[in-house]
Amino acid sequence: MSTGDTVLNSYDAGHQPYIHDPKRGKWENQWDFYLACFTNVFSMRNFVMFAALMHISGGGYIFLPILINTFLYLIPVFFVQSFMGQFSSTGYITVFRVSPLFKGIGYIILALNFSSVIYGSSVATFPFLFFLKSFQLNTTWMYCDNSWNSENCTETSDRGPYIQSNDLNISDSLEPLYEYYYHGIVKVSYDPDVKDISWPMILGELLIWIVVGCVIFRGIKVVGQFLRYTTIITAGIAFILFIRTLCLPELILTTSKLFDVRGRAGLLHPLPWVISPLLCSAALGKGWGTTLTLASFQPFRKNTEAYSTWIPVVMMTVAMICGYMVAIIGVFVSCRTPMALHFFDFDSFEYLFIAVPYFFGKLEASQMWSMLFYLMLFLSELNSVIIRTFAIVTSLCDEYVQLRRWKYELGVGLCAICFLLSTIFGTEYFAYAYRQFSSSGYTNQLLISFLEILIIVWIYGRERFLRDVRFMLVRNISVVKFYILRFISPICILISAVIHGLTTVLVMIEEPTPIHVHSVIFIVKGLPWVFIPWYMIAKLLATIGTIPERFRKCTRPMDWYPADPVDRQKYEMALGASDVSQQLLEMNDSVL
């Protein structure tokens, strides 16, 4: 398609036209968008995965794989999602007006986000409960005189702050922490025939969903303000904890152990290269399409190319610093307990809720440091739930005009449903399912990123894409960046998705996970992919013409305009087709 081609509108196709919501709003402060993206850095899985990679590859050897994947995966995907959201000012369903045949991807994203916030609220409950326990005079997880402890529990040693690994064994040092996590929080019963309910978990989930409902109820301005202040607090706490880690008396020895490459393969080890794309996908957020939705509240002329470069670079830099901090904690624990290296496991909550509490329990003012650490994790996970829930409500209201008048009721109802469904994670039936739910999401993130690039730069087309970017930015993007985006990035992302998908299946087969957990994961993570063929078939059947003609009509952009009437008119003039959608413009103006 040449730059002078027209854009199909709903009247031509005989469909209901898209009507922009004039009450949708924009970010009150530009930094609200930046901080909303930045909050993903402090998610729990980022801490564990960075620490695991540093241990496996030998410290600094992870920097090269992460650097390469930042420029080949994170920045291109961040740019594509930001462009799609900012240009269209719509959520992740309606944005596929750019190529209507693939609108089923939007419904996949909706289903995946809905399932992810359900167990995501339970994930946020863990650090919240540890945060509350930190207010007690003693860190209860270090002792055996609690109601959840067994008769065989042995309290941690009171020896000095740095002991070689042969001085203690796992039962001497970590037994009370194991019992607090599994029997005090998760409520795994000592009797295999009894299935307990964790009422602290359920009450924590209730409080979280009340907060989420109150925040999203007020719209984008309040959401932006809440994310702004909580992210600043989170970053401030991370900085304080990092400085405290640097003040450890044995920091040099601990760091030397972390960066010791003897016995480790370094760059030759495949895991850093395989896992690095997952770290980049984690930086995009736990949800799918959240960056796209956040960018849809940006001003139309904002420099997408610039912030899509510096935001990912800053995010990965901070993530590596935080990963170093947590890795140092892991080495400290490994020098006291020979089994501690077990905690260097991807998506392992045991690392954050057994090894890390042990570390803080050995510091002076342990309650304060524990309180700060778990407050940081809680705020980050809470922000993630808020962003995903708000993205669901926004996308539904963008797509279905009739829901806009019930937007607040929709948000409250969604929070209530998510709370009721999240209570299943307060039972022992799903006590061990968090890792499987989290790890199975990476493949979906990679595949959706691949499809987004495929649709924008291949199906929508090179000339169309460059024309739209030039119109929005008032300049061209770099040729090098575009060819990386068009050729190198999709190949790398697809390879990573295939490798991780196969690895996830093999791990789930080998692990003794209950069949009901596998069934639920398949339903919430795999089954939504039927939306793509289902929507494609329905769309093609509803279109007139031969199969090639139907395919061309369904992949052609429909109502793909800027939301602002002034920008839309300029865009149509740039296409040389302002007369094509004059009726649509008049109808929308009358609605506004």
Residues in binding site: 46, 384
pLDDT top residue among 261 and 443: 443
**Treating both helix axes as pointing N-terminal to C-terminal, what angle do 44-57 and 304-334 enclose, rounded to 10 degrees?**
70
pLDDT of residue 276 exceeding 80: yes
- Number of other CB atoms surrounding residue 172 within 10 Å: 14
Distance (Å, rounded) from C-alpha 587 to C-alpha 17? 9
- Number of other CB atoms surrounding residue 556 within 10 Å: 23
Q: Which domains does the chain have, with CATH numbers?
A: 19-86+114-434+532-558 (1.10.4160)
pLDDT band at 4 (very low <50, low <70, confident <90, very high): very low
pLDDT at position 34, please?
Answer: 97
Q: Per residue in 389-420, pLDDT tens?
A: 999 999 999 999 999 999 999 999 999 999 99
| Long-range pairs, 261-264, Cβ under 8 A, ≥24 | 261/58, 261/59, 261/61, 264/56, 264/57, 264/58, 264/61
Q: Per residue in 221-271, pLDDT tens?
A: 999 999 999 999 999 999 999 999 988 877 887 777 777 655 555 677 777
Q: Per residue in 118-166, pLDDT tens?
A: 989 998 999 999 999 898 867 778 888 888 888 878 776 654 443 333 3
Q: Which two tokens stand for residue 432?
A: 């061990």
Is residue 19 within 8 Å of residue 97, measured between CB atoms?
no
Q: Per residue in 444-476, pLDDT tens?
A: 999 999 999 999 999 999 999 999 999 999 999
pLDDT at position 371, please?
Answer: 95
pLDDT at position 241, please?
Answer: 95
pLDDT band at 192 (very low <50, low <70, confident <90, very high): low
* pTM score of the predicted model: 0.90
pLDDT at position 142, please?
Answer: 82
Which one-letter DSSP state was computed for residue 98? G
Phi, psi of 128 (to 5 degrees): -65, -45
Is residue 44 within 8 Å of residue 350, measured between CB atoms?
no
| Proportion of the chain above pLDDT 70, given as a percent | 84
pLDDT, the chain, mean: 84
Residues in binding site for Na(+): 46, 384
Q: Per residue in 472-497, pLDDT tens?
A: 999 999 899 999 999 999 999 999 99
